[in-house]
């Protein structure tokens, strides 16, 4: 009986390795916008985009803003989803470099672990723009908002509503992510300035609404009447807290503030269920990132850092934001 | 008591003892634990995991496994939410659609496992990613919100002081207990899990029984998804991540063997309760969630190890 | 004489005994093996040959007696210990590493390595494997995966492995059962080489002509006891067979009278097949590749047909085909005159056929279920209505079966796994008979059961026949077959070789028809 040749097995393995290496680059090309009919082919720029996680509503809004702006400017986007993995993000950027794109837009997963992507792009001479979050290596340009500011806005609002004294609990996002670290820092700055505001407890609910609900229910059991305010790092968790408090009939007594201004939260603010949210301008960030990338690709001047301000949303101004945020 | 006599007694009541023991310890550490409102809180929190656990009990009893539970929860939640906007359809429609979505996926699992002869681990692993992808496709990546009041009361209302999700869990558990102990098909589930060859040689339609088990499990996952969507008032495509691990842990702690043929719904409920009590207690004591993970893992392994020793 | 003898003796066994639950497999066995000797061990199924070999190879530990290797007593606690002493065994049931190559299997445990880390030298492995395979004239490449080989080739590789171990004592359990003529010749040549180099070989076989060709000495075992040992030249085929089965008269009489005394006489004359009764089961030309070929017979109401033969003759496969567990590829089966296709056990049960499987633990009982649930498993539809099980009816049915079959348990909710072998077999029997079948196939019904329970089961079988059921009794125990059957069929290598009358046939005659020619 002849032995099966070993060569085919090795070839198969090699071919598979090649496919895997190329795949992330091809990945979820969820939006390859073609150029306007009038644009000359030589002028059409290609920009590679690596987004942190397309299962996150804010990132989805960022994505749509980018597509819209790219359509207006007549550039092509290759969009990939890193699905929260910094490693995958680095691979995606490497494929962009191999494809010789004109510029890269990076929505980083992590401050440290996504930095190699920036290093590689800079080494290859391709301009790279960070949007929304930072990496340790400074990119060619940064478009985003200062997360500390968002936390500060929300916390200041709570302090003001409580009249300078009271008990508060804080819900964190995924520990270690840039947004969580920054918002925690911002919140603690405000706490330091107001010693009569006491932080009873803080825990992570991992950006998740259901986890936040359970956590809130348990806090209600633990602290009962002592609870006066809740600050959540994002709206999903804020909504979870609101629902739990409503069921325990502790609303509207307990004040809840969170960050993001997703559609659900804006509606809740207008209805008086959620006390405040902080608007993060996805359109401004997404559109701004595309603009910056295009300018850099055309070797025009571009500001190194653009900080788009957050805006506090309360019942008074919720209506105008509702109109700007598109509903599904 | 002669040491040898403790073993069977420990096997039957060991879990209950552990539950009572941990509850007492927690109530000493935190007086707020053993209050009616907190206990109701605990029961409300274990409802979704409990429904999943009861469903997967069928599958584990046949000697199989289902890793797609979490994704089915997300898919059915999203599917139900799409039909639950205010003023559109009676609330029965989204509920049925959610359960049906879960049941269809479960049936698909069962069909590939029996007729395709592919291992349950692989098939349900595949369904895990497929269902999650479907949920993202249907929802466009964003949570489906704006749900009718009628729909959200399922997850938030109380009936006679008991949360509706807990009542749903009780109903599902009771029905499953009756099925497994008193229905012919329930008996066949135990036979297939205990010795598949002997079951076939006894004239049992093994493929049909397995299909039944996976479909029921999927339907329970669908129901759990509907209850979750109702509770958090949105259909979230990202819901349910890693829920299958907690569900299977509850079943295994409750005494159902991973090789099949032994166990039941009562044990599953106790297992879910034990996990809920621990989660709740650690939250009340404000233990960091990292330590919570470690404690949970140790307890799961410890419970199974004790169970193995007591039945030797 | 004494000094020379003891210097030559490689392996010696004194008063060796081994019991398993309910059965004394070996009792007071003496054995001596010399250098350069081929020593054959023969006996019927169940005589204790395999147990004896397993003790020598370290797979079991003896309860009594002593094993001496080169004059020193040894304790073989596990196979590795035996291997280190220089005992290699070629099993009857092959256990190769299917996904590894032939070379890796042959050199398992004695890999050719280079350097301090145990880096496998593939080239050297292949050369060594090639050398051994060539010695045996086996046309297999050392780079093939074991999975791709046929049974005969796998056996040849197994032999190459054992030979490569350069063991001083080689135990071969039915080594030629799957080999072709050419490979057998090659094996004999190798055995001759081994013997010349001073190795000793213990050879178990049913093929008496091989024994006469190869062996120097032959030992006969019967019922776990040592019967006779002597130079092979001192025996003829006839005398050897007679030693294996024992003196003719006493064997048939003993079990029959014991059974007859307990449960009433079995009037064989009355049950002699009446010619005018239509047969309950008619099998014509039934075949299944690799298992059995062209099997034809009939079983009538109230008749017990005994089917006997050696292990591997195809009896169990035939039983499985008649019960729908596997499908026959050709031929016809008629139940009560109607031709049927048996594709699943459900269909067989619906046609009135019941099977008591060969291995109750494997596919007869669900050991995790309580006794009551096992008993009612085949006929739950009788105890239920519309899918709901009527608990009281089930209990009544179970109690009736427990009483009928004399199952000794504390409580019907007891887990079946806790029962003794005999009681488990009764439960399996009751379970199979609940659907009230017309045709009952019993495959080794008294295997692994103590003497008392055996007698009870014989009584049950007789009662079944008397109540009009058609019974096919498959058994390797000749006294059992002779005592119970109205007719005996002998199966040999997948075909029926003889139909005998139990009143006139002797165990020696049956064994003659059972053994390969």
Decide if pLDDT at A24 tops 70. no
Q: Do A1 and C143 make contact, defined as CB atoms within 8 angstroms? A: no
Closest CA in chain C for residue B185:
C387
Determine the distance in angstroms separating the CA of C411 from the nearest CA of chain B, rounded to an integer: 16
Does the distance separating the beta carbons of C373 and B183 come in below 8 Å? no
Q: Which of residues 293-332 of C touch B (CB under 8 A)?
A: 323, 325
**What pLDDT score was predicted for residue A172?**
94
Q: Name the residue among C139, C143, C153 with its Cβ closest to that of A3.
A: C143
Q: Report the C-alpha gap between B68 and B61 in whole angstroms.
A: 17
Instruction: Say yes or no for a CB contact (<8 Å) between B30 and A222.
Output: yes
Residue keyed to tokens 């090795």:
A10
A179 close to A147: Cβ distance less than 8 angstroms: yes
Residues in Cβ contact with C79 at an 8 Å cutoff, skipping those fewer than 6 apart: C57, C58, C59, C89
Helix, strand, coil proportions of chain B in percent (round to 5)? Answer: 75, 0, 20
Q: pLDDT digits over B2-11, tens only?
A: 444 555 566 6
Contact B228 A264 (CB under 8 A): no
Residue of B nearest to A54 (CA): B141
Annotate C140-181 with DSSP letters as a single string. Answer: --TTSBGGGS-HHHHHHHHHHHHHHTT-SEEEEESTTTT--H
User: Among A108-112, B116-120, B166-170, B248-252, which is the least confidently predicted range?
Assistant: A108-112
Work out the average pLDDT over B81-102: 92
Token pair 């968790």 in the structure block, residue: A237
> Averaged over A70-74, what is the pLDDT?
92
- Decide if C190 touches B, using CB distance below 8 A: no
Name which of A222, A263, A267 is nearest B32 (Cβ-Cβ): A222
Specify the pLDDT at position B205.
94
Say if residue B260's pLDDT is above 70.
yes
- From chain C, pick out residues whose CB is under 8 angstroms from the CB of A2: 141, 144
Using DSSP's 3-state secondary structure scheme, residue C95 falls into coil
Among A174, A214, A326, the residue to mutate for chain B (most B Cβ within 10 A): A214
269-288 in chain A: CB under 8 A from chain C: none
Residue B204 has pLDDT above 80, yes or no: yes
d(CA B255, CA B303): 9
Q: Measure in Å the smallest separation between the Cα of A4 and chain C Cα atoms.
A: 7
Whether A1 sits inside 8 A of C101 (CB atoms) is no
Q: Among B140, B232, B289, select the one facing A209 at the smallest CB separation.
A: B232
Q: Nearest-CA residue of chain B relative to C325? A: B201
Residue C498 C-alpha, separation from nearest chain B C-alpha, in angstroms: 30
What is the SS3 assignment for chain A?
CCCCCHHHHHHHHHHHHHHHHHHHHHCCCCCCCCCCCCCCHHHCCEEEEEECCCCCHHHHHHHHHHHHHHHHHCCEEEEEECCCCHHHHHHHHHHHHHCCCCEEEECCCCCCCCHHHHHHHHHCCCCEEEECCCCCCCCCEEEECCHHHHHHHHHHHHHHHHCCCEEEEEEECCCCCHHHHHHHHHHHHHHHHCCCEEEEEEEECCCCHHHHHHHHHHHHHHHHHHCCEEEECCHHHHHHHHHHHHHCCCCCCCEEEEEECCHHHHHHHHHCCCCEEEECCHHHHHHHHHHHHHHHHCCCCCCCEEECCCEEECCCCHHHHHHHCCCC
**Is some CB atom of chain A closer than 8 A to the CB atom of C101?**
yes
Is B199 within 8 Å of C389 when comparing Cβ atoms? no
Summarize pLDDT for C183-217 with one digit per residue, the tens: 777 788 888 888 887 889 999 887 788 889 889 99
| Average pLDDT of chain B to the nearest whole number | 89
> Does residue A52 or residue A2 have the better pLDDT?
A52
Q: What is the pLDDT of residue C276?
A: 37
User: By the CB < 8 Å criterion, does B235 face chain A?
Assistant: no
- CB contact (8 A) between residue B41 and residue A203: no
Residues of C in contact with A5 (CB under 8 A): none
CB of B280 within 8 Å of a chain A CB? The answer is yes
Backbone Cα Rg of chain A = 23
> Which H or E run includes C58?
none
| Distance from the A11 Cα atom to the nearest Cα atom in chain C, whole angstroms | 19
Q: What is the largest CA-CA distance in chain C?
A: 82
Predicted-assembly ipTM surpassing the 0.95 threshold: no
DSSP 3-state assignment of B109? helix
Give the pLDDT band (50/70/90) at residue A55.
confident
With beta carbons under 8 A apart, name residues in chain C contacting A4. Answer: 145
The alpha carbon of residue A210 is apart from the nearest alpha carbon of chain B, in Å, by 6
CB contact, 8 Å: C125 with chain A? no
Any CB–CB contact under 8 A between A5 and chain C? Answer: no
Q: Decide if pLDDT at B216 tops 80.
A: yes
pLDDT surpasses 80 at B113: yes
pLDDT of residue A43: 63
- Per the CB < 8 Å rule, is C345 touching B262? no
**At CB < 8 Å, which residues of chain B contact C?**
182-185, 187-188, 190-191, 193-195, 197-205, 261-262
pLDDT value at B126 more than 80: yes
Q: Is the pLDDT of residue A89 over 80?
A: yes
Instruction: Identify the closest residue of chain B to A208 by CA–CA distance.
Output: B239
Please give the pLDDT value at position C236.
87
CA atoms within 13 A on the CB side of C191: 26
Residue C70 CB contacts under 8 Å (≥ 6 apart), including other chains: C9, C10
Interface contact flag, A60 B289, Cβ < 8 Å: no
Contact B187 C373 (CB under 8 A): yes
Cross-strand partners of C9: C34
Is residue C147 within 8 angstroms of chain A, CB to CB? Answer: no
**Nearest CA of chain B to the CA of C434: how many Å?**
11
Pairing of strands C119-120, C113-114: antiparallel
Q: Tell me if the pTM is above 0.95.
A: no
Give the Cα separation of B12 and B301 in Å (integer). 18
Cα(A3)–Cα(C149) distance, rounded to whole angstroms?
A: 11
Q: Which residues on A lie below 8 Å from B279 (Cβ)?
A: 214
CB within 8 Å: B182 and C362: no
CB-closest option in A55, A204, A209 to B289? A204
pLDDT for the residue numbered A14: 62
Q: CA-CA distance, C471 to C458, in Å (whole number)? A: 12
> Token match 């190879």: residue?
C57
Among the partner-chain residues A55, A221, A236, the one whose CB lies closest to the CB of B41 is A221
* Residue contact C145–A4, C-beta within 8 A: yes
Q: Which of C325, C345, C380 shows the shortest C-beta gap to B187?
A: C380
Q: What residue in B sits closest to A215 (Cα-Cα)?
A: B283
Chains that touch A (3 or more CB pairs under 8 A): B, C
What tokens appear for C376 in the block?
A: 């009612």
Q: Mark the ranges of chain C whose per-residue pLDDT is less than 50.
A: 1-4, 249-276
Q: For chains A and B, what is the number of CB pairs under 8 angstroms?
A: 78
What Cα–Cα distance (Å) separates residue C501 from each residue in B123, B261, C489, C490, C498?
A: 56, 46, 9, 11, 10
Contact C345 B195 (CB under 8 A): no
Minimum CA–CA partner of B156 in chain A: A247
Asked whether residue B77 carries a pLDDT value surpassing 70, the answer given is: yes
**Chains meeting B at 3+ CB pairs closer than 8 A?**
A, C
pLDDT digits 0-9 by tens, C118-170: 888 889 889 999 998 888 777 788 888 888 887 677 777 887 888 788 778 88
Residue ranges of E strands in C208-366:
217-222, 225-231, 279-288, 292-300, 304-309, 330-335, 338-340, 353-356
> How high is the pLDDT of residue C421?
79
């Amino acid at each position: 009986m002849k032995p099966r040749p070993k060569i085919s097995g090795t070839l198969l393995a090699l071919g598979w390795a090649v496919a895997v290496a190329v795949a992330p680059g091809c990945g979820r090309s969820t939006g390859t916008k073609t150029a306007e009919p009038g644009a000359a082919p030589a002028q059409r720029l290609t920009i590679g985009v690596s987004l942190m996680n397309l299962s996150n509503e804010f990132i989805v809004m960022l994505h749509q803003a980018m597509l819209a702006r790219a359509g207006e400017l007549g550039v092509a986007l290759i969009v990939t989803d890193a699905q929260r993995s910094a490693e995958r993000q680095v691979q995606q950027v490497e494929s962009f470099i191999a494809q010789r794109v004109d510029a890269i837009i990076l929505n980083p997963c992590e401050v440290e672990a996504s930095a190699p992507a920036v290093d590689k792009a800079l080494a290859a001479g391709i301009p790279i723009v960070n949007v929304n979050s930072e990496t340790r290596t400074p990119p060619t340009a940064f478009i985003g908002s200062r997360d500390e500011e968002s936390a500060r806005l929300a916390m200041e609002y709570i302090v003001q509503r409580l009249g300078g004294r009271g008990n508060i609990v804080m819900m964190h996002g995924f520990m270690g992510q840039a947004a969580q670290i920054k918002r925690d820092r911002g919140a603690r700055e405000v706490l330091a300035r107001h010693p009569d505001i006491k932080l009873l407890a803080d825990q992570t609910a991992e950006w998740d609404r259901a986890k936040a609900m359970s956590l809130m229910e348990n806090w209600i059991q633990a602290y009962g009447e002592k609870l006066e305010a809740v600050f959540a790092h994002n709206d999903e968790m804020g909504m979870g807290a609101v629902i739990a408090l409503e069921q325990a009939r502790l609303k509207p007594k307990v004040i809840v503030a969170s960050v993001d201004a997703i559609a659900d939260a804006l509606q809740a603010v207008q209805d008086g269920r959620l006390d405040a949210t902080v608007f993060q301008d996805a359109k401004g960030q997404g559109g701004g990132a595309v603009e910056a990338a295009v300018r850099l690709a055309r070797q025009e001047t571009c500001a190194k850092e653009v900080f788009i301000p957050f805006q506090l949303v309360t019942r008074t101004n919720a209506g105008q934001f509702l109109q700007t945020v598109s509903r599904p | 008591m002669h040491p040898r006599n403790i073993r069977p007694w420990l096997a039957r009541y060991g879990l209950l003892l552990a539950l009572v023991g941990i509850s007492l310890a927690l109530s000493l550490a935190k007086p707020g634990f053993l209050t009616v409102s907190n206990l109701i809180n605990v029961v409300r929190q274990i409802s979704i995991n409990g429904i999943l656990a009861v469903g997967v009990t069928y599958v584990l009893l046949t000697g199989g496994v289902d890793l797609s539970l979490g994704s089915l929860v997300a898919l059915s939640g999203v599917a139900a939410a799409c039909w639950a906007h205010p003023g559109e359809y009676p609330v029965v429609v989204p509920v049925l659609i959610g359960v049906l979505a879960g049941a269809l996926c479960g049936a698909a699992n069962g069909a590939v496992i029996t007729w395709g002869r592919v291992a349950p681990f692989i098939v349900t692993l595949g369904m895990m990613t497929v269902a999650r992808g479907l949920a993202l496709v249907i929802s466009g990546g964003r949570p489906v919100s704006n749900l009718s009041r009628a729909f959200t009361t399922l997850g938030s209302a109380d009936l006679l002081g008991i949360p509706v999700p807990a009542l749903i869990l009780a109903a599902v558990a009771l029905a499953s207990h009756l099925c497994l102990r008193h229905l012919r098909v329930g008996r066949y589930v135990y036979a297939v899990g205990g010795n598949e060859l002997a079951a076939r040689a006894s004239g049992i339609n093994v493929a049909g029984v397995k299909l039944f088990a996976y479909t029921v499990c999927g339907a329970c996952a669908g129901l759990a998804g509907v209850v979750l969507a109702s509770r958090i008032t949105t259909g979230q495509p990202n819901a349910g991540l890693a829920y299958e691990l907690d569900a299977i842990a509850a079943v295994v702690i409750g005494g159902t063997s991973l090789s099949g043929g032994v166990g039941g719904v009562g044990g599953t409920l106790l297992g879910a309760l034990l996990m809920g009590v621990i989660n709740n207690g650690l939250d009340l004591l404000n233990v960091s969630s990292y330590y919570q993970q470690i404690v949970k893992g140790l307890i799961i392994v410890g419970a199974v190890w004790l169970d193995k020793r007591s039945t030797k | 004489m004494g000094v020379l003898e003891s210097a030559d003796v490689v392996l010696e066994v004194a008063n060796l005994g081994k019991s398993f639950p309910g059965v004394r497999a070996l009792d007071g066995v003496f054995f001596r093996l010399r250098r350069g000797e081929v020593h054959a061990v023969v006996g019927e199924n169940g005589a204790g040959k395999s147990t004896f070999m397993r003790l020598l190879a370290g797979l079991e530990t003896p309860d009594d007696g002593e094993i001496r290797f080169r004059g020193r007593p040894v304790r073989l606690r596990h196979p590795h210990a035996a291997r280190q002493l220089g005992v290699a065994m070629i099993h009857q049931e092959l256990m190769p590493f299917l996904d590894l190559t032939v070379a890796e299997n042959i050199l398992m445990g004695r890999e050719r390595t280079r350097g301090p880390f145990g880096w496998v030298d593939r080239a050297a492995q292949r050369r060594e494997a090639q050398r051994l395979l060539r010695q045996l004239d086996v046309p297999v490449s050392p780079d093939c995966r074991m999975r791709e080989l046929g049974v005969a080739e796998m056996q040849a590789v197994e032999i190459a492995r054992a030979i490569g171990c350069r063991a001083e004592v080689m135990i071969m359990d039915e080594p030629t059962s799957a080999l072709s003529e050419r490979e057998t010749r090659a094996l004999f040549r190798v055995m001759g080489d081994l013997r010349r180099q001073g190795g000793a070989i213990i050879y178990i076989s049913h093929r008496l002509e091989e024994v006469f060709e190869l062996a120097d000495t032959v030992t006969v075992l019967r019922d776990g006891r040592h019967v006779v040992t002597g130079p092979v030249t001192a025996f003829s085929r006839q005398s050897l067979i007679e030693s294996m089965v024992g003196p003719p008269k006493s064997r048939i009489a003993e079990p029959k009278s014991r059974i007859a005394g307990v449960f009433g006489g079995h009037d064989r004359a009355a049950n002699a097949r009446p010619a005018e009764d239509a047969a309950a089961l008619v099998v014509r030309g039934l075949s299944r590749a690799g298992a059995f070929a062209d099997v034809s017979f009939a079983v009538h109401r109230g008749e017990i047909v005994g089917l006997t033969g050696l292990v591997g003759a195809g009896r169990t496969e035939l039983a499985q085909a008649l019960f729908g567990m596997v499908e026959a590829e050709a031929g016809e089966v008629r139940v009560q005159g109607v031709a049927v296709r048996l594709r699943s056990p459900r269909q067989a049960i619906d046609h009135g056929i019941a099977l008591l499987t060969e291995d109750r633990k494997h596919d007869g009982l669900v050991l995790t279920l309580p006794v009551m649930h096992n008993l009612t498993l085949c006929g739950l539809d009788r105890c239920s209505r519309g899918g709901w099980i009527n608990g009281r009816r089930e209990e009544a049915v179970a109690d009736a079966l427990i009483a009928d079959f004399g199952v000794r348990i504390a409580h019907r909710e007891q887990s079946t796994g806790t029962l003794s072998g005999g009681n488990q077999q009764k439960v399996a029997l009751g379970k199979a008979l609940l659907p009230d079948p017309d045709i009952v196939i019993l495959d080794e019904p008294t295997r692994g059961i103590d003497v008392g329970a055996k007698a009870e089961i014989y009584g049950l079988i007789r009662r079944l026949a008397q109540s009009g059921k058609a019974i096919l009794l498959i058994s390797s125990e000749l006294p059992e077959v002779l005592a119970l059957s109205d007719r005996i069929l002998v199966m040999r290598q997948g075909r029926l070789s003889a139909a005998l009358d139990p009143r006139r046939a002797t165990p020696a005659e049956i064994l003659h028809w059972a053994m390969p020619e």
